């Protein structure tokens, strides 16, 4: 069952490259309905991306798991109950 939700991503750009994050997000573009990004927060060291998604719990877990394994990347997500 597909549900609506969000994914919040912070990237410490002094530790990791955003290119790896972009590759993963491109692979999951079919579940992303909207995206907002703010680059260069905190003197350019932190970038923030927020996603609106429509997906299953399994697919959301796969996406956030891959992102969360990247050094310098933090991920939080949630899905609506129904």
Cα–Cα distance list, 73 to 65, 81, 82 (Å): 11, 26, 29
Domains of the chain: 3-77 (3.30.70.1150)
Stretch (H or E) spanning 75: strand 73-79
Q: Tell me if 73 sits within 8 A of 22, measured CB to CB.
A: no
pLDDT for 74 equals 97
> Percentage of the chain with pLDDT > 70?
98
Once rounded to an integer, what is the mean pLDDT over residues 9-30? 93
**Is the confidence at residue 73, as pLDDT, over 90?**
yes
pLDDT for 17 equals 79
Once rounded to an integer, what is the mean pLDDT over residues 41-70? 94
pLDDT band for position 14 (50/70/90)? Answer: confident
Once rounded to an integer, what is the mean pLDDT over residues 24-53? 93
């Amino acid at each position: 069952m597909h549900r609506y939700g969000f994914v919040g991503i912070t990237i410490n750009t002094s530790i990791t490259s955003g290119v790896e994050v972009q590759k993963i997000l491109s692979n999951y573009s079919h579940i992303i309905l909207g995206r907002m990004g703010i680059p260069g927060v905190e003197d350019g060291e932190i970038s923030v991306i927020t996603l609106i998604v429509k997906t299953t719990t399994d697919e959301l877990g796969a996406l956030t798991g891959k992102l969360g394994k990247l050094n310098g990347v933090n991920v939080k997500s949630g899905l609506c109950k129904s």
